[in-house]
Structure 1
Amino acid sequence: MEKFTLEILFHIIGIGAASGLIYKDNSLYIISDNSNFLYEYQMDSHDLKRHALSSNPAENILKKDKPDFEAITLFQDTLYIFGSGSTANRNKMIEFDLAQKKKIVTNDLSNLYEVMQNFASIKPEDFNIEGIMHDGENWYFLNRGNGIANKNTLLSVHAKKLDQEFSLLANDYKLPKIKGVRTSFTDAVLVDNAIYFLATAENSQSTYDDGEVLGSIIGRINLETMKIDFTKKISPTNKFEGLTVYAKTEHQIQFLLCEDKDSDVLESAIYKLTVDLK
């Protein structure tokens, strides 16, 4: 990576605490960590729709009650939306059909998350899934190491569906520090045979409580070697929590990012990050 540019593309009124996003067909599908709606934003018309993900949908849900949707991934015409697993009521995965524009099923991932914790030696209080990717054969889960143990872990699940038999691999990473605070994974996206990830430094040793934001980085993991190719600081102030591919050429990738301001204000800024490839 040689250079990058970061700019605000637009603001969306009506979405707060944005925690993940998917770009498809000039629309953004956005989740919030204190809401149980899926938001659909049409970039041409600026139209915003809300799709209920539960029988009693709400926004600005109390912290102790929220499903904490922190990860969203797309495969074919299905969106998969995941709770972080950081508390017992945050273990849901929702499948949402894009063709029908409706929720198909809600799955309980408590058993899978428990297996992951045991396999990767992650204590329950250090478990916090913030990024997930799926390529049809594998699921990649990123645990955010913002607990005391700093467990930034990539968990690779080899299975077409998460209710089938699977094999599991775990790789731990020591991410860079910003102002003396270790960064931790906040989202990621698959690009060819690599994972591009975001990580944020937040001055808190808790997967539950928020802290002072000290900045964010982008980096890349090579899926053949499972090693980090590069990391680069992209902001001294933003807590970026969502990453999706907007456009790609041989020499450049454009990503769209969303930011979680840890507030109850229903407004979200969407950023464009342009990365030049070597």
Structure 2
Amino acid sequence: MHSTHLEVFAEIDGIGSASGLFLNEDLLYIIGDNSGYLNEYNIKTRTLHKIQILFDQDLLQLENIPKPLKPDFEILCQHDNKLYILGSGSTPKRNLMIEFDLKTKKIIRKDLAKTYSLLKSMSKIDDHNFNLEGAIFTGTTWLLFNRGNGTDGKNGIFKIHKADLKNIEQVSFYNFKLPNIDHVESSFTDAVLVKNEIFFIATAEDTKSTYADGEILGSFIGSINLNTLKMTFSNKISGHHKFEGIALMQQNERSTTFLLCEDRDTEELKTVIYKLVLKY
């Protein structure tokens, strides 16, 4: 059995539509789905530093980029000293990947349009149901989490045995049935690897579109065994929040503590970071 405790950890001005995060000692990295910046927030000094990662001259603004043009950075994951920021692939404008080196601050851009096209083809997921919202990179293997909030409800995990996402040849897709609220199935919104356990978050949103927002019915946390890709548990953690990012904060024998970020689907440049304690 598991129990959860949710509380506000920080309120940060200057960040809107938070969709992914990663904690590195005192530095919390946060990405927004409609922004051209990577946000670096010091949890001790409560100071915010913005790192520009988009340099598209066609964009008139780098905050609150209009929906048809936004890169839809839904994914922020980490391996070694690099952060990986990925677009959802839900429209042709959302196929960009950014690699950011935490030590050298070097930025590498990659176009994943070819990769995303291959993922859709091999899994038989059409354009209207392809919507990546989470990723885990082990150094040799990628796990990409498709959010099943389209008409076909295609929740699932792409498993790719290759480090370079731009040049893949084979992929496996694993379908998942997630818990529902009022007959609305929840869908993956992010995931993080802790040892050999994948912790995921999922939201039940009353919509059949990967583009249009709907009524938020609640969110879950759960886990999946890394080796078998079988779900081990799920717990409801909220009845009204749309959590879109999860990061490990700490773990001991009795509990695991995460930080969560919420996309409130507004243009306000303010985000709330939550602390979730999962007790065993």
Hey, what does 1:73 align to over in structure 2? 77
Q: Deviations over 1:203-242 (max 9, x none)?
A: 1100000011111001111122211101110000000000
After superposition, the CA RMSD in angstroms is 1.1
For the Cα contact (< 8 Å) 1:73–1:134, is it kept in 2?
yes
Q: 2:62 aligns with which of 58, 66, 89?
A: 58
Aligned residue pairs: how many? 276
Match of 1:90 among 86, 94, 97: 94
1:5 aligns with 2:5: yes
Q: Which residue in 2 is equivalent to 1:190?
A: 193
Q: Which residue of 2 aligns with 1:40?
A: 40
Partner SS state of residue 111, structure 1: helix
Please say if residues 51 and 102 of structure 1, whose CA atoms lie closer than 8 Å, have aligned partners that are also in contact.
Answer: no
The alpha carbon displacement at 1:137 in A equals: 1.1
> Any residues of structure 2 matched to 1:220-239 within 5 Å, and which?
220-239=223-242
CA distance in 1, matches of 2:261, 2:31: 10
How far is the alpha carbon of 1:165 from its aligned partner? 4.6
Amino acid aligned to 2:156: T
Q: What is the Cα deviation at residue 180 of structure 1?
A: 1.9
The answer for the alignment partner of 1:28 in structure 2 is 28
In structure 2, C-alpha distance between the alignment counterparts of 1:223 and 1:46, rounded to whole Å? 35
Q: Give the AA of the match of 1:25.
A: E
Give the 3-state SS of the residue equivalent to 1:124 in structure 2: coil
Greater mean alpha carbon deviation, residues 143-152 or residues 178-187: 178-187
CA spacing shift, 1:64–1:14, aligned 2, 3 Å: same
Identity %: 45
Residues 159-178 of structure 1 aligned to structure 2 (within 5 Å): 159-178=162-181
- The whole-number CA distance in structure 2 between the counterparts of 1:52 and 1:241 is 21
Cα contact 2:2–2:235 (8 A) shared by 1: no
Unaligned runs of 5+ in 1: none
CA displacement, residues 53-82 of structure 1 (integer Å, 9 cap, x when unaligned): 111561001000000000011111111100
Question: Displacement of 1:167 after TM fit?
Answer: 3.5
Amino acid at match of 1:34: N
Once the two structures are TM-superposed, the CA of residue 161 in structure 1 deviates from its matched residue by: 2.0
